[in-house]
Amino acid sequence: MRTVLSAATEKRNRNNRHRSIPVPHAVFEVVREQHAEPRAHQAEPRLLDRVREVIRFRHYSLRTEEAYLGWIRRFVRFHGNRHPETLGTEEVRSFLTDLAVNGKVAAPTQNQALSALLFLYQQVLKKEVGWLDDVERAQRPAKMPVVCTAEEVQAVLKEVKGATTRLMAHLLYGSGLRLMECLRLRIKDVDFARCQILVRDGKGSKDRVTMLPVRLVGPMQRHLVKVKGLHDEDLAEGFGHVHLPFALERKYARASRQWAWQYVFPSARRSRDPREPAAPDRRHHLSELVLQRAVKEAVRRAGVAKPITCHTFRHSFATHLLENGYDIRTVQELLGHKDVSTTMIYTHVLNRPGIGVRSPLDAA
């Protein structure tokens, strides 16, 4: 019996020696990685893609992104498509000099180009830029803001065509809003009960409260009835989304279709967000060109011989408040100025002959 069992055991062991032992899949993967050819290093992102990534990481505006990318492109092309890492102080100075001498750009434009290059070397290329201290910034001359009289403002506002553009122009003057602050207003930021407007993420990423003129409450409410109808149509067609700042769209998945987040002055057509091409079509706010062109035409029809722009209404708002005796600190808060010295410039354009000093010719 023992002999039969020994013979069977020996046969089984002999068969097991020729049988393949199952090996986990992960083991094959490790062996394959060890014997495979080394992988080629992934290509580094292009320079402009790196710039764009850093700009968006720092939450710069789309306008700043477009401006900085444009200046960096011009800088590279000016020096024969050489990489900026191979360029230094003389190349930067020659580029800025060409802008001033041949391009005849203004001092703020020249300084914007220098700021774009500083951002490139400091934030993107991570280079020591002490050598850029030798590059002089253009001196920006102090200029007086263009201010209209109350009669001139009313004459221009009367000539603005279109109910929506006329309402926007009245807000610029009646609330002291900047152009983009007006365009980016959302439903939730208009408080009819208190006659207030909450300006979100204004210049310098600051919030502030300003007034909603009582005369505009009725026109604004009638305008929002039409906007609500447009939003309801979008919802019925499966759209109704609006851009939300930062990560709010991920945090509040349904907020982008809610009425409170819609723009007060929406565009007539839906469009794709250039920063999120995979996102669904959204209802963005009106283009600033719509109001700029309307104001330009209104100035021409009113016959006012001043270089009036949309921002002139804001200058006039501040000046007229000071003329009416309001405290400069109050005006500073309404305008959202960080420093009162910025607001002080309007004291130099008050409608007072000779800044309160009587001319000797008038005394004669």
Condensed to tens digits (0 to 9), the pLDDT of residues 71-82 reads 999 999 999 999
Average pLDDT over residues 302-331: 93
Please give the average per-residue pLDDT across 300-317, as a whole number.
95
Residues of the chain with CATH 1.10.443.10: 143-354
Query: Contacts for 221-228 with beta carbons within 8 Å, 24 or more apart?
Result: 221/192, 223/163, 223/164, 223/167, 223/264, 224/187, 224/190, 224/264, 227/187, 227/262, 227/264, 227/266, 228/259
pLDDT band at 130 (very low <50, low <70, confident <90, very high): low
What is the Cα–Cα distance from 334 to 50, expressed in whole angstroms?
Answer: 38
For residues 209 and 198, is the Cβ–Cβ distance under 8 A?
yes
Question: Of 121, 173, 263, 346, which one is the catalytic site residue?
Answer: 346
Strand order in the sheet with 196-199: 190-191, 196-199, 208-211
CATH of domain 47-134: 1.10.150.130
pLDDT tens digits along 188-222:
999 999 999 999 988 877 899 999 999 999 999 99
Measured in whole angstroms, how far is the alpha carbon of residue 192 from the centre of its chain?
27
Angstrom distance (rounded) from CA 76 to CA 80: 7
- 250 classed as catalytic: no
Q: Of 166, 170, 184, 314, which is the active-site residue?
A: 314
pLDDT at 165: 97
Read off the pLDDT of each residue in 80-94 and give the average, rounded to a whole number. 88
Q: What value does the mean pLDDT take over residues 2-20? A: 51
Examine the residue annotation and report whether 77 is marked as an active-site residue of this protein.
no
CB 240 within 8 A of CB 231: yes
Residue 178 designated active-site: yes
- Gap between the Cα atoms of 301 and 299, Å rounded: 6
Task: Specify whether 314 is catalytic.
Answer: yes
- Binned at pLDDT 50, 70 and 90, residue 255 comes out as confident
| Residues forming CATH 1.10.150.130 domain(s) in the chain | 47-134
Our answer to whether residue 285 is catalytic in this structure is no
Q: What's the whole-model pTM score?
A: 0.72
pLDDT on residue 354: 47
Per-chain mean pLDDT for the chain: 83
Looking at the predicted structure, is the pLDDT value of residue 231 above 90? yes
Is 215 an active-site residue?
no
- Does domain 143-354 bear CATH number 1.10.443.10? yes
Residue 5 confidence (pLDDT) = 46
> Could you tell me the end-to-end alpha-carbon distance of the chain, in angstroms, rounded to an integer?
147
Instruction: Identify the pLDDT of residue 361.
Output: 53
Whether residue 350 contacts residue 325, with contact meaning beta carbons closer than 8 Å, is answered with no
Mean pLDDT, residues 226-232 taken together: 95
Per-residue tokens: 5: 């069992």
Please identify which of the residues 203, 223, 257, 284 carries the catalytic annotation: 203
Active-site option among 166, 170, 178, 315: 178
State mean pLDDT over 80-106.
Answer: 88
